[in-house]
Amino acid sequence: MHNRWQIMRFFTNPRKPMILAVARPYPEKNITTLVKAFGECRPLRELANLTLIMGNREAISKMHNMSAAVLTSVLTLIDEYDLYGQVAYPKHHKHSEVPDIYRLAARTKGAFVNVAYFEQFGVTLIEAAMNGLPIIATKNGAPVEINQVLNNGLLVDPHDQNAIADALYKLLSDKHLWSRCRENGLTNIHQFSWPEHCKNYLSRILTLGPRSPAIGNREERSNTPISGRKNIIVISVDSVNKEGLVRIIRNAIEVIHKENMSGSTGFVLSTSLTISEIHSLLLSGGMLPTDFDAFICNSGSNIYYPSHSGETSNNSKITFALDQNHQSHIEYRWGGEGLRKYLVKWATSVVERKGRTERQIIFEDPEHSSAYCLAFRVVNPNHLPPLKELRKLMRIQSLRCNALYNHSATRLSVVPIHASRSQALRYLCIRLGIEVPNVAVLVGESGDSDYEELLGGLHRTVILKGEFNIAANRIHTVRRYPLQDVVALDSSNIIGVDGYTTDDLRSALQQMGILAR
């Protein structure tokens, strides 16, 4: 076997148990601490050999600086502790050979070790168990749960090299412990198979009761503002100024009223505006908030239902009821105050440079923030960093959320991972028993950075074209792919009209089947 020779040629005594580590030479994998633990424990060195599978490499000088530094440190430690003949560090291996390497270590009655500072999952631990190799693993992260299921090894503090050495020596010197860990791993590994995963997933779903009793309950739905609607028109036009948005809303409502369909057709406004901004916008256009059945605002992080607080229809008596069930739905893994502090710190690093001077361009915007929407004001949209950079930074920090630019790239909104305008619309349809194909979404030719999500799906989409589309295009100029690559613009569910007059909107809704011809 080729890989056997590649490894065994390093050892003076290849019959000793093999301690195996499979990890790329990244600092977070903590390989240098493992080498120190091995090098400074004389009994462990006499008992076992150490094999380090650190990816594939050619010359160290051609490696990435960080990986080269780790590998150089490993080689320096091998020389410092004089571990020649006791440590293998082959340059090459094929992916298909990795199972053979695990089995080779198992045949020597060795152990697999993963002492990363933190392990998100640890697929190598499962691979080792599948091949009959007991484990020594970090106590930080997923290995804790893996070992609870498999019970095939010991957990250690990755910062404590003495604890690492002691655990390895204990596992390799106690033959009964080693055999028990091996058998436990082989017996329990099926619990990480896809069939077992699906069975567990489905069984847990069946134990969950409904979090929202109103869903699917006709009697309960009869009390909601949107009850009894057959069709819903969703206005999600981001690419116009406020005056243009008011005209679109007024024209859409006029079309429905003239067709005497106001009883069967409802309206939802879906926007990145706050509920107070929406209220002011509608009043400035001479409209009532109760002309709408619901408002999806703050980029999908809030859903409000308007109602009169008394018997009068006076505007001052209108109240907005927040959908608390939706709030509990989107709160999953929301970073809250910790996320806010991280973003405030990040915002100070986003600067515009002119000569030797720097000017911060993103500032916290508490006025437009809410419990599940962190808003930031952008003073110079021309120097905005790509969203993918911010998303990458948040992933590195294990912050699960959605970030998007809106208001013609003058505002940044960060919302929970389960919050978006498209998801909020589907939530409304399910909660209120409305068929998605009976929903028509009005959008512009561009919009906020979640614009693409509003186009696809079972709902009908009307794209309002024309010169009224303004600076929202700036958000999409950095798109590195054609829109048609991610959205089927030739779908029968998507049509375009050349304006937003009442005639334009009536024609579009007739084509969609919302209005009779």
Same domain, 57 and 177: yes
Q: Is 499 exposed, middle or buried (CB count within 10 Å of its CB: 0-12, 13-18, 19+)?
A: middle
Structure tokens at 505: 């909107």
Same domain, 98 and 10: yes
Q: Distance (Å, rounded) from C-alpha 198 to C-alpha 292?
A: 42
| Residue 141 identity | G
Task: Tell me the CATH number at 368.
Answer: 3.90.1070
**CB-neighbour burial class of residue 337 (10 A; exposed 0-12, middle 13-18, buried 19+):** exposed
| Rg, the chain, Cα only | 30
Q: Which of 218, 43, 22, 260 is nearest to 131 (CA)?
A: 22
Domain final residue, candidates 357, 391, 415: 415
Q: What is the DSSP letter of 310?
A: S
**136 close to 164: Cβ distance less than 8 angstroms:** yes
The residue out of 377, 394, 415 marking a domain boundary is 415
Q: Are residues 69 and 194 in the same domain?
A: yes
Helix 175-188 to helix 123-130 angle (10° resolution) is 100
Instruction: Examine residue 216 and state whether it is found in any structural domain, yes or no.
Output: no
- Residues 404 and 423 grouped into a single domain: no
Q: Fill in the amino acid letter for 445.
A: E
φ, ψ at 109 (rounded to 5°):
60, 45
Domain CATH for 111: 3.40.50.2000
Q: 132 and 20 share a domain?
A: yes
Diameter over CA atoms, the chain: 93
386 and 244 in one domain? no
318, 346: one domain: no
231 and 175 within one domain? no
Side-chain half-sphere CA neighbours of 262 within 13 A: 10
* Dihedral angle over CA of 190, 191, 196, 197, nearest 10: -130
The whole-model pTM stands at: 0.60
Query: Do residues 462 and 497 make contact, with C-beta atoms less than 8 angstroms apart?
Result: yes
- Structure letter (DSSP) for residue 413: E
Query: Does 208 fall in a domain?
Result: no
Whether residue 157 is found in the same domain as residue 253? no
What is the spatial distance between Cα 491 and Cα 456, in angstroms, rounded to a whole number? 9
Q: Is residue 52 part of a domain?
A: yes
What is the CATH classification number for the domain harbouring 318?
3.40.50.1000
Q: Is residue 218 part of a domain?
A: no
Domain presence at residue 257: yes
Distance CA(68)–CA(357), nearest Å, equals 36
Is residue 323 domain-shared with residue 347, that is, in the same domain? no
Residue 90 lies in a domain: yes
Picking from 200, 217, 252, the residue at the C-terminal end of a domain is: 200
CA distance 487 to 422: 14
Encode the chain (517 residues) as per-residue pLDDT tens digits.
456 778 999 999 999 999 999 999 999 999 999 999 999 999 999 999 999 999 888 888 888 888 999 999 999 999 999 999 999 999 988 888 899 999 999 999 999 999 999 998 889 999 999 999 999 999 999 999 999 999 999 999 999 999 999 999 999 999 999 999 999 999 999 999 999 989 988 888 888 765 554 444 444 444 555 667 888 999 999 878 888 899 999 999 999 988 877 778 999 999 999 999 999 999 999 999 999 999 999 999 999 999 866 554 454 578 999 999 999 999 988 999 999 999 999 999 988 888 888 899 999 999 999 999 999 999 988 888 888 888 888 888 888 899 999 988 889 999 999 999 999 999 999 888 889 999 999 998 888 888 888 888 889 999 998 755 555 455 555 555 666 666 777 788 899 998 889 999 999 888 888 887 7
Tell me if 210 is assigned to some domain: no
Separation of alpha carbons 255 and 505, rounded Å: 7
Pair (352, 253) in one structural domain: no
Domain that holds residue 302: 225-331+418-511
Domain match, 158 and 248 both: no
The count of domains in the chain is 3
- Does 219 map to a domain? no
Question: What pLDDT, on a 0 to 100 scale, did the predictor assign at position 218?
Answer: 43
Backbone angles phi, psi at 437, to 5 degrees: -65, -15
Closest C-alpha among 439, 512, 449 to residue 483: 449
Instruction: Return the pLDDT at 297.
Output: 96
